[in-house]
Structure 1
Amino acid sequence: MDIKRVGILGAGKVGIVLADLALRAGYEVRISGSGSVEKIDLTIKTLVPGAIASENSDVVANSDIIILAIPLSRYKNIDPELLSGKLVIDAMNYWWETDGIREEVLNPESTSSEQVQDYFKNSTIVKTFNHMGYHNLQEEAHPEGDPKRKALFVTGDNKEAVDEVAKFVNTMGFDQVIHYNIADGIMTEPGSPLFGASLRLNELRRVIDNFDHTEFGRKIAASKKNA
């Protein structure tokens, strides 16, 4: 797959930062927001000149890869058929301040990305860009080989798709730690040691190697009980 055109659904802080990185990497970028095109057009022209503000359908139709950068509680507002056949990056996380009560957004029996993949069943979902804060994404992207370069976790069930997204992440300025199990996206969710971390490649590998799924599961269960 030759990725030349990047589509971003979500014109918030993360979406704007990823649009800027993609433009700097030489991609054609389209981005949509929650309102009308006219509503976000001036913002896009000001913050990411060169990106094209458009509606969801136009963004998807004219992009080789789609990034979901919307609040997690709103992904079901998107018709799953719109993304049918598309390679989709899930850059979303549950966050109580924007998403509300967790149980109203997510089934506690599986990870958020598994549920996103189940909903967009005819799309291929890969999880990345979600564990590093948007400020770090913006400020710490560096060319390959730069000793200051940071790393991102990339995971999904489709090996070919994960490898393709990892190449894309590389062009965006980050090294990658790659897994081939979308359920491993739990390691990047809020409350995990990886969430919010801005780490170099070896540091990120060390955190992932030491990740205790059982302990993290207990913490999530306790937080639900005390909510």
Structure 2
Amino acid sequence: MTTLGLIGAGHIGTALAQAALDAGHDVVLSNSRGPETLADLVSALEQRPGRRGQVRADTAAGAAAAADLAVVTIPLSAVPAVPVEPLAGKVVIDTNNYYPQRDGQIAELDDETTTTAELLQAHLPTSRVVKAFNHIGAADITADGSPAGTPHRRALVVAGDDAAAKQQVSAFIDAIGFDVVDLGPLAEGWRIQRDTPGYGPRLDAEGLRAATAAAVRYRDM
């Protein structure tokens, strides 16, 4: 059984917690306001029909320390606050997207010399960051999952520089009901950023491969 440590408990974090609990994983939630502010969410998750795992709230550092698999799902402006030492050596999923109207202008993302996941990797130099879950709506995480082998099963992307890390994330994605398309290294995560063909629509593995292959960088539009 895996413990999923969530740094961020917004829409995506909550949906991942639901899916993980239903699949039998334990979950530790955290946010920027303290574990006591998550009491109602923890209670609601505990009462979720079909829940198989255990859930509790902690600080971000506590969630990171408890995690077998961590998820950072917070605004880009909060990335510098992500605890570094408790995540050392661990696999960390980055769900983020860059929205200048929310995040402010970030020069290296504007000129596409890096990606959001590479920014998180730079902040967590001893962790193994994998890009995932940034191109699916929160509600779809719990609504669109289906058993392995289902025809036209929805697929989700992973990108990362560590093969074993991608394998761990891919196994988790499969366990909560989705096929996986591997984009390759972390730098290729741009292929599923906002406004690309694969961002948002429900696609099976074949369709998602085609969509990511057709992606064009903002600077080339």
Q: Is this a same-fold pair by TM over 0.5?
A: yes
The structure 1 segments of at least 4 consecutive aligned residues displaced by more than 3 Å after TM superposition are: 47-50, 104-108
Once the two structures are TM-superposed, the CA of residue 134 in structure 1 deviates from its matched residue by 1.0
Report the residue type matching 1:162 in the other structure.
K
CA contact (8 A) 2:5 2:66 kept: yes
Among 85, 88, 98, which residue is 2:89 paired with? 85
Tell me what 1:19 maps to.
17
Give the Cα–Cα distance (whole angstroms) in 2 for the partners of residues 77 and 105 of structure 1: 20
Taking a change above 3 Å as real, the CA distance of residues 212 and 94 of structure 1, as seen in their structure-2 partners, is: closer
Task: Name the SS of the counterpart of 1:204 in structure 2.
Answer: helix
- Post-superposition offset of 1:97: 4.5
Equivalent position to 1:110, from 111, 114, 137 = 114
Q: For residue 137 of structure 1, give the secondary structure of its aligned residue in structure 2.
A: helix
1:46 partnered with 2:50: no
Is 1:123–2:162 an aligned residue pair? no
RMSD in angstroms over aligned alpha carbons?
1.9
How far does residue 148 in structure 1 lie from its aligned partner after superposition? 5.1
Match of 2:220 among 207, 215, 218: 218
- Unaligned 5+ residue runs, structure 2? 48-53
Amino acid of the residue matched to residue 103 of structure 1? I
The question of whether the paired residues in 2 share the 8 Å contact of 1:10 and 1:34 is answered with: yes
1:212 and 1:70 map into 2 onto residues whose CA distance is 26
Q: Would you say 1:186 and 2:190 are equivalent positions? A: yes
Aligned to 2:205: 201
Distance 2:44 2:152 in 1: 29
Q: For residues 180 and 218 of structure 1, what CA distance do their matches in structure 2 show?
A: 21
Aligned to 2:157: 153
Please state how far the C-alpha of 1:106 moved relative to its aligned partner: 4.5
Partners of 1:97 and 1:44 lie apart in 2 by 31
Q: TM-score of the superposition, structure 1-length normalised?
A: 0.87
Q: 2:183, 2:189 within 8 Å by CA — same for their partners in 1?
A: no
Q: How has the CA–CA distance of structure 1 residues 79 and 62 changed in structure 2, closer, same or farther, with 3 Å as cutoff?
A: closer
Offset of residue 47 of structure 1 = 4.3
What is residue 33 of structure 2 aligned with on the other side?
Answer: 35
CA distance 1:212–1:104, shift in 2 (3 Å)? closer
Name the CA distance, whole Å, in 1 between partners of 2:108 and 2:42: 29
Q: How far does residue 138 in structure 1 lie from its aligned partner after superposition?
A: 2.1
SS in 1 for 2:130: strand
Q: Where in structure 1 are there 5+ consecutive unaligned residues? A: 220-227
Mapped partners of 1:52, 1:144: distance in 2: 29
Equivalent-residue separation in structure 2 for 1:105 and 1:51 (angstroms): 37
Amino acid at match of 1:30: V
Q: Which residue of 2 aligns with 1:62?
A: 66
Residues matched between the structures, number: 214
Q: CA 1:186–1:48 in 2, change beyond 3 Å: closer, same or farther? A: farther
**What is the CA deviation profile of residues 93-113 of structure 1, one whole-angstrom value per residue up to 9, with x for unaligned ones?**
1123432x2227847321111
Task: Call closer, same or farther: CA 1:94–1:157 in 2, change over 3 Å.
Answer: same
TM-score computed with the length of structure 2 as normaliser: 0.89
After superposing the two structures, state which structure 1 stretch, 204-213 or 192-201, moved more: 204-213
> What is the Cα deviation at residue 13 of structure 1?
0.4
- 1:163, 1:43 → 2: CA distance? 30
Q: State the match for 1:225 in structure 2.
A: none
Worse-matched range after superposition: 41-50 or 121-130 = 41-50
